[in-house]
Amino acid sequence: MGLPEGFLDELKRRTDLASVISRKVRLERRGRELKGCCPFHNEKTPSFHVYADHFHCFGCGAHGDAISFLREQEGLDFMGAVRLLAAEAGMEVPEPAAGPADRRRADARAVLDAAGQWYRAQLAGVGGAEARAYLARRGITPDIAETFGLGLAPEGRGSLARALARALPDADPALLVEAGLLGEAADGQRFERFRGRLIFPIHDARGRPVGFGGRILGAGEPKYLNSPEGPLFAKGRLLYNLHRAAGPARKAGRLILVEGYMDVIGLARAGLAEAVAPLGTALTEEQLALAWRVAEVPVLAMDGDAAGRRAAFRAALRALPHIGPNRSLAIALMPAGSDPDDIARTGGAEAVERVLAGALPLDRFLFEAELDAARLETPEGQQALLRRLMAHAAAIADTGLARAYAAAWRDAYFARLRARRASARHTAAATARAPARPLAETRASAGRAGAPALRLLLTAIAARPGAVERHAEALGALELEDRALAALRDAVLAGAHPGGRADFGRDLDDSGFDSLVRQALACLDQLHHIDRAMGEPRDCSSESAMRQAEAQLMALRGARDEAVRRLSALVIADPA
């Protein structure tokens, strides 16, 4: 079923590869070469080279010819790319000889096409009044209905088969079953799969009919029904409206993923033609791959109810293992109780755009979703949250991106815990009876007490392999008011090395080193809480209260001095 010998060679000879690539990549001539920033990965220094007959990226290894470039950048299949290049080169593509299976699929598509015409005629006829009224209530004009090929499957039995027998007298009646138009009962009797339903034709990415979806007009279940799985229809590998949306999506620079047929049509009615939908199923890996061929970061626009949030979370987890520098997902949740069609119908494109503008990047959406489900009032709940986040990061196949997600989530996790604790302390302090506080220089002195030790400790931890990971949780939970120290701690957690000497624990094995680190961190934590206690409001309402407050302050100063002494003995003193 291949092309004639020599056809592809002639096509490539007539194709100006640089012209094809320059539609997507800004190329600059460097001597005899053309170079640009690679479209297959993010880079600032050009490493993408274009030659007479092929391209090659010395950064990510991408390599190919005009056909492979169009397949990756335009989402075309092999023959689609060949036909596009041939049309530009003024060549006619010979039709390959079809085998029996191909002819059978072509015949099934002809049956589906004829059935679609019949369904449309039923919608326009006398029996379609109720369906037309339903569409009018949903704001679907006759022009929109015609654009999407909407039709009606009437309640009666046998009328579709009779109509197709008249339209395609030579067609094998078994094709109606293979195409999913008829079902077979246990007794062998055949029946129309779609009855009393509004019909939505479904096409593949090339615009060929593959099946139908039907929405019931009266009472009954299921509300939506699709064609059965078969040689043409595989719902997990299809996106409704992709053949129409791909062009507008590339022009707009985004693809909108919504939940259902009416959401797609409602957005198109409002002027947003770049929307597609899975076919009544959770978003699959194959559907994500189709979406990524069209846009690097598709926007998942989900209903604002609990079910929509759960569906968005499942889709985010499904996408996570496959994301990369040029592949991710954004999530926009509709206001509670609304779907994209509702927003478009009541507020138009502007209202939809406002919601889409608030779409969360994948990392932030997952963090916020897990945070909402977490029970942070207990240490167990806090640990469960951190472990779930780290498990999600580990699911990412791109190791560099997995590390980046883990670091970002770890930072956000500890920042939230610190904010939670600070809020609790602020609330407690606000209820104190008197506003008296120690002098500012006293607090500054207390805050600086552990600074040298912490710098040395961080240097030693960063220098020892595996130590950052072992002590990341304790370091992240350490509350630091000094911005420079907090920035240094965060840099170490992110993988940076602060430089300087790392004498602390130098001659110890990992077990001994870790024991000293835990002791030092405990001292630092104690210092922090002492500093906080020294700065809390004190009861100065009477002379006896003032004496008691002064005694408490002196006791805290003594405890601070002892903590600094122990910390210095652990860290600052040269153990060698």
Report the C-alpha gap between 308 and 52 in whole angstroms: 50
Beta pairing, strands 299-302 & 330-333? parallel
Share of the chain above pLDDT 70, in %: 89
Is residue 461 domain-shared with residue 542, that is, in the same domain?
yes
Task: Give me the amino acid identity at 425.
Answer: R
Q: Spell out the residues 6+ positions from residue 139 whose beta carbon is closer than 8 angstroms to its own.
A: 266, 269, 345
- pLDDT score for 142: 94
Q: Is residue 418 part of a domain?
A: no
Is residue 71 domain-shared with residue 22, that is, in the same domain?
yes
Q: What Å distances lie between residue 212 and 17, 52, 115, 412, 426, CA to CA?
A: 40, 45, 10, 45, 60
Residue 575 scores a pLDDT above 50: no
Q: Is residue 477 part of a domain?
A: yes
Q: Which of 233, 258, 285 lies at the terminal end of a domain, its last residue?
A: 233
Query: In which band, very low, low, confident or very high, does the pLDDT at 277 lie, cut at 50, 70 and 90?
Result: very high
- pLDDT score for 320: 95
Q: Is residue 176 part of a domain?
A: yes
Q: Which of 27, 55, 89 lies at the terminal end of a domain, its last residue?
A: 89
Best mean pLDDT range from 183-192, 373-382, 456-465: 373-382
Q: Is residue 26 part of a domain?
A: yes
Is residue 167 domain-shared with residue 129, that is, in the same domain?
yes
Average of pLDDT values for 132-157?
A: 94
Task: Give me the amino acid identity at 501.
Answer: R
Average of pLDDT values for 389-393?
A: 95
Q: What Å distances lie between residue 175 and 105, 114, 119, 125, 172, CA to CA?
A: 9, 12, 17, 26, 6
Q: Is residue 124 part of a domain?
A: yes
Is residue 453 domain-shared with residue 564, that is, in the same domain?
yes
Q: Of 217, 255, 258, 211, which Cα lies nearest the Cα of 237?
A: 211
pLDDT in tens, 516-558: 888 888 777 777 777 766 666 666 666 666 667 777 777 777 7
How many Cα atoms occupy the beta-carbon half-sphere of 94 within 13 Å? 12
Q: What's this model's pTM, rounded to 2 decimal places?
A: 0.66
* Lowest mean pLDDT across 142-146, 207-211, 316-320, 503-507: 503-507
- How many Cβ atoms are within 10 Å of 90's Cβ, its own excluded? 7
Q: Which domain holds residue 316?
A: 242-368
- pLDDT score for 541: 60
Domains held by the chain: number: 4
Phi-psi region of 569 (alpha: psi -120 to 50; beta: other; left: phi over 0): alpha
Instruction: Give the SS3 label for residue 379.
Output: helix
Is residue 254 domain-shared with residue 126, that is, in the same domain?
no
* Lowest mean pLDDT across 214-228, 261-275, 461-475: 461-475
- pLDDT score for 543: 61
- pLDDT score for 441: 40
- pLDDT score for 546: 65
Q: Is residue 410 part of a domain?
A: no
Query: In which band, very low, low, confident or very high, does the pLDDT at 224 lie, cut at 50, 70 and 90?
Result: very high
- pLDDT score for 193: 92
Q: Which of 318, 339, 368 lies at the terminal end of a domain, its last residue?
A: 368
CATH of the domain at 85: 3.90.580.10
Is residue 298 domain-shared with residue 202, that is, in the same domain?
no
Q: Is residue 170 part of a domain?
A: yes
Is residue 203 domain-shared with residue 254, that is, in the same domain?
no
CATH of the domain at 104: 3.90.980.10
Residue 442 scores a pLDDT above 50: no
Is residue 40 domain-shared with residue 135, that is, in the same domain?
no
Is residue 80 domain-shared with residue 109, that is, in the same domain?
no
- pLDDT score for 437: 44
Q: Is residue 400 part of a domain?
A: no
- pLDDT score for 545: 66
Is residue 469 domain-shared with residue 534, that is, in the same domain?
yes
DSSP code for 92? P
CATH of the domain at 300: 3.40.1360.10
Q: Are 332 and 299 in contact (CB under 8 A)?
A: yes
- Residues belonging to the chain: 576
Is residue 152 domain-shared with residue 208, that is, in the same domain?
yes
Is residue 112 domain-shared with residue 84, that is, in the same domain?
no
In degrees and rounded to multiples of 5, residue 325 shows phi and psi of: -55, -30
